[in-house]
Structure 1
Amino acid sequence: MMTNLFSVFDPTSSLFNFSLNWISTILGLMMIPYTYWLAQSRIHFTWNNILLKLHIEFKTLLGPGGHSGSTLFFVSMFSFILFNNFMGLFPYIFTSTSHLAMTLTMSLPLWFSFMLYGCINHAQHMLAHLVPQGTPPMLMPFMVCIETISNIIRPMTLAVRLAANMIAGHLLLTLLGNTGTSMMYILMPILLITQILLLILEAAVAAIQSYVFAVLSTLYSSEVN
C-alpha cells in the first residue's frame, strides 16, 4: 500500500536505464521560443500583466538599494516554480517541486549567494541585524544565537515549505482516488466532487507557494543590500 501510494513521487522509474521523469521540469523552457511567434491573445496579455505587477511589487520590496534588473530573476523564478507546480497536477506527470533535491537546489545557492554578498559588501550591516533594536544587554547573546540559527535554516524552510505543500495535496488526492474502487456507486458523485474541489485547491496552492517562495527570496535579498 505505502509503496503504491508514494510511487507518484518516485524519481527512479526509467526507460532504457535513463531517467525521464525530470524532463517535465524543462518542458517550459522548450516552449519559450515559440511564444515569440504567437499573436497576442488575452491569455498572453493577462500573463504579461501578472508579471508586470510582480515586477512592481518585487521592486518595492527590494527598495532603493536593489540592483537594476534584479526583479527579473525573481519573476523568472516565480514563473519556473509555478509551471512545475501546475505540471504536477496532470496525471502521470512527475512533480519535481515535491522533492527536496529540486527545492534545495533552488534555495540553497540563492541563500548562500546572498550571505556571501552581504558579508563581503555589508558585513557591519549584517552583524547589526543579529541584535534587534531595543534588546536588553542581558539578552543580546541569546538574540545573536536565535537570529543566527533562524538565518541558517532559511534555505531549509524555503525548500521544505514548497515540497511539503506539494506532497500533502498530491497524497490526499491519491488516497481519495484509491478508495474509489471499493466505494459504492451511490457515493461516487460525492467522491468526484470532492476530487474536483481538491484539484482546485491544489491549483491555488501551486500559485500561492510559488509566490511565497519568490517573495521570501526577495525579502532575504533586500536584507543584505
Structure 2
Amino acid sequence: MTTLPEKSGKNSIRDEVIQFKRRQILDAAVDLFLKNGYHGTSVDAIAATLGASKQFVYYQFKDKLAILDAVCTTGAELTLSAISDSADAENDTPVERMRSFCRRLTEIVIDHGNYLAVYASEVSTLRDEDRKRILMVRAEVDRQVRDLIALGIGEGVFVAEDPLTSARAITGMISFMWTWAHPDDQDARALLVDRMANIALRSLGIDV
C-alpha cells in the first residue's frame, strides 16, 4: 500500500477524491456521447448514469461543453504522456525509447480508445479556444516524436526521409487503432502491443 506524505496527506486525499469524481463523470459521459452523441446527451442523463444529482456533475464541471473539453483533453494528454515518459529514459537508446513510446501509446489506445473516439466525432463541437489548445498538445506529441526520430537518424539507427512525416504516420497509425483494436484477453493484448511497436520500428528501418 502506498503511503501519503504526512504534511500534504489531507490535500493529497482531497485531490484524489476530486480526480476520482471527475473521472467517474467523464467515463459516464464518454459512454453516453458514443451512444447518443454529444447533442443527444444531457447532464441529467450523465448524472442518472452515476446515480447522482445534476448538482454533483455541475460541482465538478461548469457545463456540458466543459465535460466534452475534459474528455478530449484527456485523450490528447494521455498521448503526450506516452512520448514524455519515453523521453525521461535518457540513458535508453533511440530504438528502446521508440519501442517504449509505441508500446505505451498502444496500451493507451486499447484502454482509452473511447476517449479518442469521442474526440474524433465531436471535435467540431468544441469551443475554438479549446480545440486550438488540444491541437497544440497533439502538435507537441508530433514534435517530440519527430525529435526522437531525428536523434535516431543522427546516430545512424533510424532511416526516414522526413522525421516529422514519420512521426505523424506512426502516431496516427497507433492512435487510429481505437476503430478496431479490442483484444479479448491479456495474451491478445500483449501480442498486439508487441506487433504495433514492431511495425513502427520497421518503418524506421529497424530489423525486428
Q: Scaled by the length of structure 2, what TM-score is found?
A: 0.30
**With CA pairs under 8 Å and 6+ residues apart, which has the higher RCO, 1 or 2?**
1
Larger Cα-atom Rg: 1
